[in-house]
């Protein structure tokens, strides 16, 4: 390994501008780690409509000898292609990848892309810090690398227990102004991760392969320090992106009290990534609402307790229904996340999900084509029963969560029924979006009905919401007229 002097962090494009709404928190932590060690850092975010030629020009100008890329499985082959081209232009540069994709695929990442020199799997700060400090690869835990023509995998280290010891991201080298222009509401919003790890056993989730099963959390004071840092810079919108913000009730109440004690007034707070319905109470939700929480996502998965049990979700539909009732009565903006076609689910079970999606005045629902990720119980079940219709290298590259293209079938729901199930589910998504917009635009009468109808189409909604001119001329005045705050 060469001596690391300058680091170029590379973020691959993930989604369209309409869906690209959260800061890359993981990369933010690594950049903060590198800067705290005195390294010269630059960040290149391809979500901001940059081209490959612009990456090459940035690399030549900046002179980095380490390129660190964050990789998700979505469109990963395009990422491989970019890294290969960069390696051809700059053969001496060290190429490092980390994130969900190498955490799931491990050695196969280096097998499939010769341009990659090192991959980090699992939690990245400690291996990254050791690598940049010049420690021999053989001594660095949690990495995969090349040695004498072989691919070597080092065992992982323990997960970080004291998360307060990891400096929170300040995004100094990120183009935040441009990023915010590409976000859904075109407003400055900071994503905060308050905990890591998930103790639950859901069969479909790969988070345990990335951040482990042990639930670890930052102190409330540390989280408030991060918020106050951005608050002093004029930021008022914050999104909690970790899975476990509401896992411990006492922490939630402590956070709400601390927010008021520090006089961080006027904040708009959300849990967009989703909360568990069985980890909140009405008192907790009411207290959160008092301090500025206004939007919450709920991981419902299914309207059938039988299916939830099959998924090892650890919840019952009655608990979910009670939480949705509390959220809507407290006037939250609510998003629901469902899975379609899980093992054990029949068309009758799907009907229960569709009914639940329409039962409460929520603002959005998302029915996801269930995706089996490697290293999950779901994947192992489907593979052992030969129920996969496509290879994970194929379907993960495409990210078919929101299209009618099943990647497996089950005994309860063969492929022809799966396509019908997804068609019905996507129709309910559109219906919920229209009903939500009608409620908000009642004052506009027939014009509100017309706008709500077209708002139900995802492609039209994406174009409308991401068009700056439309937002300025039409959407913002309408918001003021009907008193939509966010």
Task: Please give the model's pTM, rounded to 2 decimal places.
Answer: 0.91
Residue 134's domain is classified under what CATH number? 3.40.50.280
Burial class (CB in 10 A: 0-12, 13-18, 19+), 58: middle
Residue 64 resides in a domain: yes
Regarding whether 227 and 95 lie in a shared domain, the answer is: no
> Looking at the predicted structure, is the pLDDT value of residue 486 above 80?
no
Regarding whether 454 and 414 lie in a shared domain, the answer is: no
Domain boundary among 131, 153, 175: 153
Regarding whether 423 and 464 lie in a shared domain, the answer is: no
209-215, long-range: CB < 8 A, 24+ apart: 209/103, 209/104, 209/122, 209/375, 209/376, 210/100, 210/103, 210/104, 210/121, 210/122, 210/123, 211/122, 211/123, 211/159, 212/122, 212/123, 212/159, 214/159, 215/244, 215/247
Regarding whether 123 and 256 lie in a shared domain, the answer is: no
Domain boundary among 384, 401, 431: 431
Residue 266 resides in a domain: yes
> pLDDT of 384-413, one tens digit each?
999 999 999 888 888 777 788 899 999 999
Regarding whether 81 and 50 lie in a shared domain, the answer is: yes
- Residue ranges with strand state E in 348-449: 364-369
pLDDT of residue 353: 98
Burial class (CB in 10 A: 0-12, 13-18, 19+), 149: exposed
Residue 158 resides in a domain: no
> pLDDT of 115-149, one tens digit each?
999 999 999 999 999 999 999 999 999 999 999 99
Residue 162 resides in a domain: no
Q: How far apart are the first and last CA of the chain?
A: 49
pLDDT of residue 30: 96
Pick the range with the lowest mean pLDDT from 158-167, 284-293, 434-443.
Answer: 434-443
What would the DSSP string read from start to end of 291-320?
TTEEEEEEEEE-S-HHHHHHTT----HHHH
- Percent of the chain topping pLDDT 70: 92
Residue 171 resides in a domain: no
pLDDT of residue 483: 46
Nearest-angstrom CA–CA distance, 195 and 177: 27
Average pLDDT over residues 329-344: 96
Residue 165 resides in a domain: no
pLDDT of residue 50: 87
Regarding whether 206 and 73 lie in a shared domain, the answer is: no
Burial class (CB in 10 A: 0-12, 13-18, 19+), 158: exposed
pLDDT of residue 22: 79
Regarding whether 69 and 38 lie in a shared domain, the answer is: yes
> Looking at the predicted structure, is the pLDDT value of residue 442 above 90?
no
pLDDT of residue 444: 84
* Nearest Cα residue to 104 out of 381, 310, 386, 372: 372
Residue 88 resides in a domain: yes
Regarding whether 231 and 140 lie in a shared domain, the answer is: no
Residue 183 resides in a domain: no
Phi, psi of 210 (to 5 degrees): -105, -55
**Distant-in-sequence, close-in-space partners of 18: CB < 8 Å, separation ≥ 6:** 184, 461, 462, 463, 465, 466
Give residue 481's domain range: 441-486
Average pLDDT over residues 302-325: 97
Give me the torsion for CA of 307, 336, 198, 220, rounded to 10°: -150
Regarding whether 384 and 238 lie in a shared domain, the answer is: yes
Between the alpha carbon of residue 352 and those of residues 356, 448, 484, the distances in Å are: 6, 30, 31
* Nearest Cα residue to 102 out of 71, 147, 140, 77: 71
Regarding whether 238 and 371 lie in a shared domain, the answer is: yes
> pLDDT of 213-266, one tens digit each?
889 999 999 999 999 999 999 999 999 999 889 999 999 999 999 999 999 999
Nearest-angstrom CA–CA distance, 196 and 203: 19
Regarding whether 316 and 226 lie in a shared domain, the answer is: yes
Regarding whether 469 and 337 lie in a shared domain, the answer is: no
For the sheet with 118-120, list strands across it.
40-45, 6-11, 66-70, 94-98, 118-120, 143-147, 150-153
* Nearest Cα residue to 167 out of 229, 102, 239, 253: 229
**Mean pLDDT rounded to a whole number for the chain:** 90
> pLDDT of 8-45, one tens digit each?
999 998 754 334 467 899 999 999 999 999 999 999 99
Residue 373's domain is classified under what CATH number? 3.20.20.70
Nearest-angstrom CA–CA distance, 401 and 74: 10
> pLDDT of 464-477, one tens digit each?
666 656 656 655 66
Phi, psi of 478 (to 5 degrees): -65, -40
What would the DSSP string read from start to end of 87-138?
HHH-TTSEEEEESHHHHHHTHHHHHH-TT--EEE-S--HHHHHHHHTT--GG
More confident residue, 302 or 183: 302
User: By three-state DSSP, how is residue 217 classified?
Assistant: strand
Residue 143: other Cβ atoms inside 10 A? 25
pLDDT of residue 482: 46
**Distant-in-sequence, close-in-space partners of 476: CB < 8 Å, separation ≥ 6:** none
Average pLDDT over residues 357-376: 94
Domain boundary among 153, 174, 200: 153
> pLDDT of 274-288, one tens digit each?
999 999 999 999 999
Q: In the chain, how many domains are there? A: 3
């Amino acid at each position: 390994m060469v001596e690391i002097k300058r680091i170029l962090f590379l973020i691959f494009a993930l989604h369209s501008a309409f869906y690209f709404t959260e800061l890359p928190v993981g990369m933010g932590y690594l950049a903060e780690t590198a800067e705290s060690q005195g390294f010269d850092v630059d960040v290149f975010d391809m979500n901001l409509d940059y081209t490959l030629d612009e990456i090459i020009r940035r690399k030549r100008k900046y002179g980095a000898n380490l390129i660190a890329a964050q990789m998700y499985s979505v469109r990963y082959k395009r990422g491989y292609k970019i890294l290969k081209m960069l390696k051809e232009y700059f053969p001496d540069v060290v190429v490092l990848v980390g994130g969900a994709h190498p955490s799931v695929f491990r050695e196969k990442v280096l097998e499939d892309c010769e341009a990659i020199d090192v991959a980090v799997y699992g939690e990245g700060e400690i291996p990254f810090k050791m690598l940049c400090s010049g420690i021999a690869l053989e001594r660095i835990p949690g990495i995969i690398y090349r040695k004498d023509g072989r691919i070597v995998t080092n065992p992982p280290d323990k997960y970080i227990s004291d998360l307060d010891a990891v400096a929170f991201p300040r995004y100094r080298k990120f183009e935040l102004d441009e990023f915010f222009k590409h976000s859904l509401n075109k407003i400055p919003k900071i994503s905060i991760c308050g905990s890591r790890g998930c103790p639950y056993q859901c069969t479909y989730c790969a988070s345990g392969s990335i951040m482990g099963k042990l639930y670890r959390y930052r102190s409330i004071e540390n989280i408030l320090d991060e918020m106050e840092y951005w608050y002093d810079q004029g930021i008022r919108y914050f999104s909690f992106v970790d899975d476990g913000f509401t896992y411990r009730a006492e922490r939630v109440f402590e956070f709400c009290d601390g927010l008021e004690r520090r006089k961080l007034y006027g904040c708009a707070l959300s849990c967009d990534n989703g909360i568990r319905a069985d980890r909140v109470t009405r008192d907790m939700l009411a207290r959160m609402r008092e301090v500025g929480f206004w939007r919450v996502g709920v991981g419902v998965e299914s309207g059938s307790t039988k299916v939830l049990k099959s998924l090892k979700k650890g919840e019952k539909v009655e608990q979910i229904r009670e939480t949705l009732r509390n959220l809507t009565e407290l006037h939250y903006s609510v998003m629901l996340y469902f899975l379609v076609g899980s093992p054990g689910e029949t068309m009758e079970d799907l009907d229960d999900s569709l009914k639940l999606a329409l039962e409460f005045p929520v603002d959005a629902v998302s029915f996801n084509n269930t995706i089996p990720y490697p290293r999950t119980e779901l994947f192992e079940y489907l593979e052992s029963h030969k129920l996969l219709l496509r290879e994970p290298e194929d379907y993960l590259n495409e990210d078919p969560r929101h299209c009618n293209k099943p990647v497996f079938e089950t005994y309860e729901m063969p492929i022809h029924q799966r396509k019908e199930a997804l068609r019905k589910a996507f129709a309910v998504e559109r219906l919920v979006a229209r009903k939500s917009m009608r409620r908000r635009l009642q004052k506009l009468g027939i014009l509100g009905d017309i706008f709500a109808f077209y708002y139900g189409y995802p492609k039209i909604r994406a174009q409308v919401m991401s068009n700056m001119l439309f937002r300025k001329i039409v959407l913002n005045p309408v918001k003021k007229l009907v008193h939509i705050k966010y």
